[in-house]
Amino acid sequence: MENSLKYRFSPFLAGDTGALLVLFNKAITGRREAAAIHPGEFSQRVLEHPGFEPEGLLLARESSGKVVGFIHAVLPPVHIPLYAKLAGRGYLFGPWVDPAYRDRGIGRGLLKAAEGWMAQRCETILVHGLRAPFYHTREGPRQPYFGSTEILGLTGNDTDLLEFYAAAGYGPVEEQELSMTASLQNTEPQPATLTGLNVVRVSTQQPWKGRVVWIPGGGVGYGYESYFPMAAYDTLAVAQGDTIVGHCQWYSMRRPGRAALFDLRLEESLRGRGIGRWLFEAGLAAMYQAGFREVELHTSPQRNAAAYRMYRQAGFKTAVSWVILKKTYKFVMLFCRKTRVTHPML
């Protein structure tokens, strides 16, 4: 068996995009809702993002320079208000290794290098963690490269990779992450008391020019145009004056006829008046009227218990349960298991 020392692990360079995406596209082929990643999209979404650090995108190279594996360690740019709440976290995607080079310790070497890079800068490391920059929907409505409406994740079927990470000291987070789907019907929403509120429609073509109460930084609008151009989104919202205080927001998924319910939110002081349920039902009706016949969403029964009950009552069924892994840095340093793992993908 070849030793990983025969391969060098080094940061991403500008000329590596093509070789990297060949590996990335091989890795996601056949996964749920996967679509090929193109260089222009990857550059705009990842490489040109203000939070991207080349040192975190680690590539494994053989002596000839050929790229044979990679892992991406992401540290949120917490100086940007959007990411401030993610302070202390790091995220891992991969490792993925060329099939011809697996079972040589390359994956283990990549993981060790990635953890070393993050060691002094975060307390918790998450594998495919929700809300991570670049690969999820942190910057606005868009579909990840594979997985679901919001999550590029692992499932219980990824047994080899789960065992690989378990042997490195990672365990699943306590909160369950689900994708749920439902058929759309042409229905009327239940009435609600909307006194003092204006119902507004916002979209990519008609952006909101006022404030949004939960958007940090004090700017106007949703700010989705700040990063990679997003998929066209549509929004049914309620506003107090020039400020949106609640909305149901969706966009088109790659699968024809399916919408992603991206966000359902209401300012806390307005809850208990039926406004949230009205936004939900009216949003679903608007999706149907726009030509969609299925809708998918991401939720957590623990974190979003009330919303989860509402989704189930509305006929949503669980399509897939996702697995997010976690390890604290103290755990990495003091209690990391030394078991050697032979992973058929690594």
Strand partners, 200: 237
Burial class of residue 126 (count of CB atoms within 10 Å of its CB; 0-12, 13-18, 19+): buried
Task: Tell me how far apart the terminal alpha carbons of the chain are, to the nearest angstrom.
Answer: 13
Query: What would the DSSP string read from start to end of 63-126?
Result: TT--EEEEEEEE---TTSGGGGGGTTEEEEEEEEE-GGG-SSSHHHHHHHHHHHHHTTT-SEEE
The pLDDT value given to residue 330: 58
- Alpha-carbon Rg for the chain, nearest whole angstrom, is 21
Q: For 296-344, what is each residue's pLDDT tens digit?
A: 999 999 999 999 999 999 999 999 999 999 998 654 443 333 333 333 3
Confidence (pLDDT) at 334 = 38
Q: Which residues contact 179 (CB under 8 A, 6 or more apart)?
A: 147, 148, 149, 151, 296, 297, 298, 318, 319, 320, 322
- 3-class SS of residue 239: strand
What pLDDT does 2 receive? 61
Task: Return the half-sphere exposure (C-beta side, CA atoms, 13 A cut-off) of residue 217.
Answer: 15
Enumerate domains of the chain plus CATH numbers: 4-173+324-335 (3.40.630.30), 183-322 (3.40.630.30)
List phi, psi (to 5°) of 341. Answer: -115, 135
| pLDDT on residue 6 | 84
Low-confidence ranges of the chain (pLDDT < 50): 331-346
Give the model's pLDDT for residue 167. 96
